[in-house]
Amino acid sequence: MSIQVDHDAVVVGSGFSGIAMAIALKAAGRDDFAILEKADEVGGTWRENRYPGCECDVPAHLYSYSFELNPYWSQSYAPADEIQDYLLYCVEKYDLRRHLEFDSTVQDAAYDDETGTWTLTIATSWGTLRTIRTRDVMLGVGALHEPHIPEIPGLETFAGELMHTATWDRGTTVSRKRVGVIGTGSSGVQIIPPLAEDAAHLTVFQRSAPWVMPRSNTLYADRLIDTFEQHPAAMRAHRAKLKATSDLRERGITSAPKLLKAASRLALENLHASIKSPELRAKLTPDYAMGCKRVLLSSDYYPALASPNVTVETAAIDHVEPDAIVTAGERHQVDVLVLATGFDPLGSYRYLGIKGAEGHLLSSDWDAGATAYLGVTVPHFPNLFLLLGPNTLLGHTSDLQMIEAQVGLVMQLIRERDRRHLKTVGVRPQVVPEFLAELDRRSKQTVWASGGCDSWYLDEEGRNRTLWPGSVAEYEKRTTRPEMVDYHFA
């Protein structure tokens, strides 16, 4: 009996993950798919994050698809707009626009045991609902997507302009205004220098001092761009070098104490050279081991904090009033308040209502934490594939490498299922406990666990459910040659 579906596959989300998945489906001649996107344009992270100073702190030639290298990156670290343009270029080049359905928010997905198909319920911003039936669902909904809004008493009473970095309104101007920024992670470190330049006064509310390494962002000379354009092999060699050094740094920061020590020394020298005031320097000296949280790269962050119109407040925030942030004993008046407070990791996956085989609910199965085999497949959720799912983010190198490996794995699984003329593929439940035990064992040996900090890497029980604890090369190997016995075909 052949089952009627609207599409063979539905890709949810059109950021780097969704676009990579769609390109792979297309390349395999599996043209019957839709890409559902809740917004009105592609881009994911790079469509949403438009705050001043937003860029990618991973080198541009590594933060691009390996199969679509871009000779035209203007500088070693690309600004957000340029990355968004790159994604738009990919959409046109691979003829994906006709697969895209905008203003289509997937509310829930339900698996039908009988037919082995999924039915997605999709809402528009107008409130209308529709359904799509499909065999495969690929979720590229973004791992760091749902803004984390801190629970600070009185925050809702703030009467000035209030924004999270991921919801920055491009019309906002800060000149002649008093601005407050809460948070000094990757987003905070990027937004603070341009705000310090424009605002009348900037108060930075820092809870933990980050580790900051100097970074030079060089513009690529026209001659080099021409060389990359005319000699793709030179560009590939450049990328290979970036990949090797980034992987090494990632491994070093995570679990090589000697390398960490040397890097920590460099970061403290950077702090010393940039900040002359001993009092400010003390405030900016991290009190946990480097690598426990993401190491930040910036050469204009410390100089911005040393500007005369900038105050670094390290006292805990007590509450917010309509025009001020109040810390122990001090009232900081602000007109604009920016929350650079990060994201709810894997939040977008949790908020989707996903009902799998035999009534399994993803949200319930993930009660004790989000888990997936190699971050991609979840027991009892056949023909459902996660991209950048649990334990597959990277701390300090390009997540695109993980996305490409995952897309490759998904393609192999569905190809194998079809080769066997079967309806479904999913991970065997027996395989997962051992995999999770391995993740826990390896994560405990990293600086994330031993570095003496709280970070979004670990959950409340101190378990890592976000980052991959091995090397990129190892992940690539495990996904390029998957153990088909780990999967159940039916």
Q: Which stretch binds ligand N01 (CB under 6 A): 3-11, 181-189, 235-243, 255-263?
A: 181-189
Q: Could you tell me which stretch among 144-152, 250-258, 269-277, 400-408 binds ligand N01 (CB under 6 A)?
A: 144-152
Least Å distance, CB 339 to ligand N01, is 8
Of 278-317, binders to ligand N01 (CB under 6 A) are 294, 317
Site string for ligand N01, 10-49 (x = CB under 6 A): ----------------------------------------
- Span near ligand N01 by CB under 6 A; candidates 336-344, 423-431, 433-441, 466-474: 336-344
Residue 392 near ligand N01 by CB under 6 A: no
Stretch that binds ligand N01, among 202-210, 219-227, 366-374, 401-409 (CB under 6 A): 202-210
478 contacts: CB under 8 Å, gap ≥ 6: 374
Using the rule CB under 6 A, which residue among 9, 12, 20, 56 binds ligand N01?
56
Please identify which residue in 15, 140, 180, 183 interacts with ligand N01, judged by CB under 6 A: 183
Task: Count interface residues toward ligand N01 (CB under 6 A).
Answer: 26
CB of 473 to ligand N01, least distance (A): 20
Helix axes 222-230, 232-255, angle to 10 degrees: 110
Give the residue, chosen from 207, 215, 360, 488, that forms a contact with ligand N01 under the rule CB under 6 A: 207
Q: Which residue, 238 or 396, has its beta carbon nearer to ligand N01?
A: 396
Q: What are phi and psi of 205, to 5 degrees?
A: -95, 105
- Minimum CB separation of residue 400 from ligand N01 in Å reads 11
Q: Assess 144 for contact with ligand N01 (CB under 6 A).
A: yes
Is residue 215 at the binding interface for ligand N01, with CB under 6 A as the rule?
no
d(CA 115, CA 12): 21
Residue 213 lies near ligand N01 (rule: CB under 6 A): no
Chain positions contacting ligand N01, by CB under 6 A: 56-58, 144, 150, 152, 165, 182-188, 190, 205, 207-208, 294, 317, 340-343, 454, 456
